[in-house]
Amino acid sequence: MATSLSKQLHFLLIPLMSQSHIIPLVDFAKLLALHGVNVSMITTPINAKRYKSIVTHAIKSNLKIKLIPLHFPSQEVGLPQGSENLDTLKSLELFKDFFLASEMMQEPLEKLIQDLEPKPSCIISTSPLIWTQQVANKFKIPRYIFQTISCFTLYCSHILNPTKIHDRDSFLIPNIPHKIEFTKGQTLNGNITKQSQDMQSIIDQIKQSQDLARGTLINIFEELEPWYVDSYKKVVNNVFCVGPVSLCNKDIDEMVDRGNKASIDEHICLKWLDSMKPKLVVYACFGSLCQISFLQMKEIGLGLESSNVPFIWIIRGLNFTLEVEKWLMDENFEEKVKGRGMIIRGWAPQVLILSHPSIRGFLTHCGWNSTLEGISCGVPMITFPMFAEQFYNQKFIVNILKIGVRVGVEVSINSWNEEKNGVLVNNDQVKNAINQLMDKGLEGEERRKRAKELAHISKKAIQEEGSSYLNIKLLIEDIMEQLKDKEGEANNNVARTM
C-alpha cells in the first residue's frame, strides 16, 4: 500500500520516559512502519538500551525503524544517576525535576533534527512532552499527541474540568449516557487538588498544549467506546483512534520483548501455562509504577492463596522488599501453593501470558495499557485501581463494558509510591472478587461472552481495512496533504520573488 510519497515520510516518535508511554509508542512505531514509512524513535540512552532488541527484531522484518538516543540531563537537575525512566523514581516529588530534565532535551533535539535525513515530516509525542510542540513549530512540521488513556477518560475530564463538581463527596458525571458515580479524589480532577502546585502547573500546561497540536492519536479502537469517541471528536480536532497497538506483536519473541527483559524464561512460563486447563488461571499484575505497601502485599497473597484458584502473581522489583521475601518464607507460601501458584519477581511477559488460553481473569491495577491488553486478549478483569486515571478505567471495565468485577478499593492513593497508605483491601475482598469472577453462573458467562466479543472486534480493528488500520492511513494522508501545501506555498514564494 505504500506509495512513493509515503515512503519518503519520516515520523519522529518521542515518548515520555515511562513504560506506559514507551511500550505503546514502540508498538505504534511498528504499525506505522508496516505502512511503509520511516520511523525514528527518540529516547534516552538507558531506555534505548532497554528497547534495542525490539527494534532489532523490527528491522529484521524489513521495517524502517531507528532508535536514536539523546542525552538525559538527570544529574544536571539533581536526580540520581540513571534516573531516566519514571519507574526509577522513588517519589512523586522527583517528577518535577524529571520533567525539567526532559524539557532540557529540547535544544539537543533541535540540533539533531537539523542533521536528520530524511527530514522529519511530523512529531508524535505523548501528552506530557509539551515542549515538543515548540520543536515542531520551529521546523514547521505538525505535532500529534499520542494519548495513552481512553476516550472515556479524556471526555469525562473535559466535562469535569470547568466545574467544581469533583469537590463534592460523591457526584455523577453529567451529560453522558451512562450513570457513572465517583467519590471525591477518584477522578483526575479530584486528585489534582491533592497534588502540589508544581504538579498542578504541569497538568495545566499539558491541557493548554492540546489546542496547539495538529491532532490526537488515541490507543483505543473506535468500536470500543463509540459515544465517547464521537463526543471527544466534537471538542478536539483530528482525532485518530489507532489501537490496540499491542496487537502488532504476533509471535512469541515480540510478545516477550516488551519493556524490560522478562524475569522468567518464556519457555518455562509457557510450559507452566500449558500444564493448566483452559480458562482456569488468574493473572495478577499491578503495572510498572505502583509501590504497594508490605501489608497490602500480604493481603493480596493471602487472598490469592485462599481463593484456591491457580494464579500467576507478579511482584515488581520495588515491591519485592526484604519484608515481603521474609513473609513469603515464614508463611512457606510457595510450598503451600505449589502446583497451582507461581510468583514472578520482577518483569513479566504480560502480553504473552494474557494471550494464553489458560488465563481466565486478570487482577489489574487498571493502567490503561494493561486494561486494553486485557480487553484485546478477551480476559475479564478484577479491578484494583490505585491512582491517576485508574478509577476511570475501573468504571469503564465494570459499568460500561461490563467485563469485570471490583475488588473494592474506595479511595485513591496520592501517587504511585504510597508506602504509608497501608491496606486498601483485605484478603477476603481479594478472594471474594476472584471467586465472583470465576463464577460459572449466568452473570459470569455473560461477562466472558462480552469479553470474547470485544477481543474479536479489537483484532478486526487492527487488521487490514479495520477501523484503526484505516485511521493510520488517514493520518499518513493528513501529513502528506500538509507537506503538499507546504511545498505549494514554497513554490509560490519562489514564483513571487522571480
If the CB atoms of residues 171 and 396 are measured against ligand UDP, the closer one turns out to be: 396
Alpha carbons 126 and 143: distance in angstroms, whole number: 10
If the CB atoms of residues 244 and 466 are measured against ligand UDP, the closer one turns out to be: 244
Taking the complex as a whole, the smallest distance from the CB of residue 344 to ligand UDP amounts, in Å, to 7
> Counting contacts by CB under 6 A, is residue 23 touching ligand UDP?
yes
If the CB atoms of residues 40 and 350 are measured against ligand UDP, the closer one turns out to be: 350
Select from 77, 124, 242, 289 the one that contacts ligand UDP (CB under 6 A): 289
If the CB atoms of residues 213 and 284 are measured against ligand UDP, the closer one turns out to be: 284
If the CB atoms of residues 102 and 133 are measured against ligand UDP, the closer one turns out to be: 102
Q: Find, among 318, 423, 427, the residue nearest to 363 by Cα.
A: 427
Applying CB under 6 A, what is the total number of residues that bind ligand UDP? 19
If the CB atoms of residues 133 and 390 are measured against ligand UDP, the closer one turns out to be: 390
- Site mask, ligand UDP, residues 335-374, x = CB under 6 A? ------------xx-xx---------------xxxx--x-
Query: Looking only at residues 301 through 330 of this chain, which bind ligand UDP when binding is defined by CB under 6 A?
Result: 314
Cell 505502583, residue? 290
Question: For residue 100, which amino acid is it?
Answer: L
Distances (CA, A) of 312 to 35, 284, 345: 37, 6, 11
Q: Which stretch binds ligand UDP (CB under 6 A): 16-24, 52-60, 178-186, 213-221?
A: 16-24
The answer to whether residues 249 and 266 touch, using CB atoms and an 8 Å cutoff, is: no
Question: For residue 194, which amino acid is it?
Answer: K
Instruction: Check residue 439 and give left, alpha or beta (phi > 0: left; psi -120 to 50: alpha).
Output: beta
If the CB atoms of residues 89 and 122 are measured against ligand UDP, the closer one turns out to be: 89
Taking the complex as a whole, the smallest distance from the CB of residue 87 to ligand UDP amounts, in Å, to 7
> Counting contacts by CB under 6 A, is residue 287 touching ligand UDP?
yes
Select from 10, 258, 356, 360 the one that contacts ligand UDP (CB under 6 A): 258
If the CB atoms of residues 34 and 314 are measured against ligand UDP, the closer one turns out to be: 314
The DSSP-derived string for 396-442 is IIIIIS--EEE----S--SSSB-GGG--SS-HHHHHHHHHHHH--SH
> Counting contacts by CB under 6 A, is residue 19 touching ligand UDP?
yes
> Counting contacts by CB under 6 A, is residue 288 touching ligand UDP?
yes
Distances (CA, A) of 414 to 194, 199, 474: 7, 12, 39
In terms of DSSP H, where are the helices of 1-150? 4-7, 19-33, 45-60, 95-103, 106-115, 131-138
> Counting contacts by CB under 6 A, is residue 285 touching ligand UDP?
yes
Burial of 486 (0-12, 13-18, 19+ CB in 10 A): middle
Binding site for ligand UDP (CB under 6 A): 19-20, 23, 258-259, 285, 287-289, 314, 347-348, 350-351, 367-370, 373
